[in-house]
Amino acid sequence: MTSRRPIGIFDSGVGGLSVLPHIRQRLPGEDLIYLADQAHVPYGPRAHAEVIQFSHSITDFFLRQQAKLVVVACNRASAAALTPLRYTFPDVLFVGMEPAVKPAVQQTKTGKVGVLATVGTLESDRYAQLMGRFAQNVTVWEDPCIGLVDLIESGQTDTPETEQLLRQVLAPMLAQGVDTLVLGCTHYPFVRPLLNTMAPSLAIIDPAPAVARQAHRVLQQAQLLGPATSGGKLTLFTTGPAAPFAHLTQRLIGHEGEVNTAVWQGTVIGHQSDQILTTDY
Ligand code: DGL
């Protein structure tokens, strides 16, 4: 069996665009819908309950577009909402993200690992469980990189200000002998070139390829892969202003195309041709 229904992918902003090309490469025939919730970016400092509510409403929006799988391309939203989403939508397939601590622990030679993630991810129960499972025998340095998501959202992936912020984050880690760095926020791969220049010997781990493999596996198991092996369409939505998002999408992943505006109406997201449904959670 196959299914032509699209895959929904979301993040608070442009972060999930670092995951999207891996999904396109792995599943080139699938139609993808990407939603950036830029009306609410950053998710990092927001309360769990709020992130859960946004994630529910975005899932609802994707289901109205007939999505067959929802990829939570955001560590923060996954940490807060993946379990509640699976509970509220038991028939929906989800793939989420978590900081790639396990491969980092396997790979480190110094036994010292750095994790860059937003404050909400670092303070989540899910992250605590992850550390408990995999990081018993290594030392982990964490940094919430305050302000980095905002810099990336404004297109500052390689400015002196971003470099300064990363220098402050990296200096203590490198001084302690950290040799492996986990990118625990989907925005951060966009500063990877800068990180590589600043710390060339640091091994950097981005879970995006593993997320794409998991999306493939989940669809295969559910017999919901699309019939085509190429030519999948990408439809972009933002809940913020469309023009800067289109510009940034072009810069970050080289995608030129129309960006649709999705509008929050209370706890529901709609767009022009969409029939707005009211849902209570
Ligand atoms: N990109 C998101 C993540 O992976 C969150 C960024 C934010 O909105 O704080 O955690």
Q: Is the domain of 13 the same as that of 145?
A: no
Determine, yes or no, domain membership for 118.
yes
133 and 71 in a common domain: no
Task: Determine whether the shortest distance from the Cβ of 46 to ligand 1 is under 6 A.
Answer: no
HEC profile for the chain?
CCCCCCEEEEECCCHHHHCHHHHHHHCCCCCEEEEECCCCCCCCCCCHHHHHHHHHHHHHHHHHCCCCEEEECCHHHHHHHHHHHHHHCCCCCEECCCCCHHHHHHHCCCCEEEEECCHHHHCCHHHHHHHHHHCCCCEEEEECCCCHHHHHHCCCCCCHHHHHHHHHHHHHHHHHCCCEEEECCCCHHHHHHHHHHHCCCCEEECCHHHHHHHHHHHHHHCCCCCCCCCCCCEEEEECCCHHHHHHHHHHHHCCCCCEEECEEECCEEECCCCCCCCCCC
> 112-124 pLDDT, tens per residue?
999 999 999 999 9
Which residue do the tokens 């209370």 mark?
Answer: 266
Question: Residue 220's domain is classified under what CATH number?
Answer: 3.40.50.1860
| Binding site membership of 121 for ligand 1 (Cβ less than 6 Å) | yes
Query: What is the tens place of the pLDDT at every residue in 169-180?
Result: 999 999 999 999
Report the separation in Å between the CA atom of 266 and the middle of ligand 1, taken as the mean of its atom positions: 22
Residues 66 and 195 in one domain: no
Q: How does the average pLDDT of the chain come out, rounded? A: 95
Q: Is residue 213 part of a domain?
A: yes
Assess whether 132 and 259 both reside in one domain.
no
Please identify, among 206, 228, 260, the residue that sits at the C-terminal boundary of a domain: 206
In this prediction, residue 121 carries a pLDDT of: 98
pLDDT in tens, 37-74: 999 999 999 999 999 999 999 999 999 999 999 999 99
Residues 108 and 131 in one domain: yes
| 143-171 b/e (C-beta count within 10 Å ≥ 16 → b) | bbbeebbebbbeebbeeeebbebbeebbe
Question: What atom in ligand 1 is closest to the CA of residue 79?
Answer: 10
Q: Are residues 191 and 132 in the same domain?
A: yes
Give yes or no: residues 217 and 202 share one domain: no
> What's the pLDDT score for residue 274?
53
Q: Which of 37, 76, 119, 154 to mutate to test the pocket of ligand 1 (most atoms within 8 A of CB)?
A: 76
Q: Is 74 close to ligand 1, i.e. is its CB under 6 Å away? A: yes
Strands 94-95 and 69-72: parallel
Same domain, 174 and 144: yes
Rounded to the nearest whole angstrom, what is the distance from the C-alpha of residue 25 to the centroid of ligand 1? 23
**What pLDDT was estimated at residue 208?**
97
Provide the domain count of the chain.
2
For a pLDDT cut of 70, what percent of the chain falls above it?
Answer: 96
Tokens representing 209? 């390829």
Instruction: Report yes or no on 1 lying in a domain.
Output: no
Domain C-terminal end among 160, 191, 206: 206
In a domain, 89, yes or no: yes
Task: Say yes or no: 112 and 194 in one domain.
Answer: yes
Q: Same structural domain for residues 264 and 198? A: no
Residues carrying an active site annotation: 74, 185
Q: How many whole angstroms separate alpha carbon 229 and alpha carbon 2?
A: 12
198 shares its domain with 107 = yes
The answer to whether residue 140 sits within a structural domain is: yes
Which residue range is the domain that position 107 belongs to? 101-206
Atom of ligand 1 nearest to the CA of 42: 8
Atom of ligand 1 nearest to the CA of 184: 4
Structure confidence at residue 271 as a pLDDT band (50, 70, 90)? confident
Q: Is residue 2 part of a domain?
A: no
Report the alpha-carbon distance of residue 51 to residue 29 in Å, rounded: 31
Among 206, 233, 254, identify where a domain stops.
206
Please indicate whether residue 162, judged by its CB atom, sits closer than 6 Å to ligand 1.
Answer: no
**Is the CB of 240 within 6 Å of ligand 1?**
no
Give distance in angstroms: CA of 229 to centre of ligand 1: 31
167 part of a folded domain: yes
Shared-domain flag, residues 187 and 228: no
Residue 59 CB less than 6 A away from ligand 1? no
User: Residue 139 domain-assigned?
Assistant: yes
Pocket lining: 15 vs ligand 1, CB cutoff 6 Å:
yes
pLDDT of residue 201: 96
In angstroms, what is the C-alpha Rg of the chain?
Answer: 18
Mutate to test the pocket of ligand 1, among 75, 78, 211 (most ligand atoms within 8 A of CB): 75
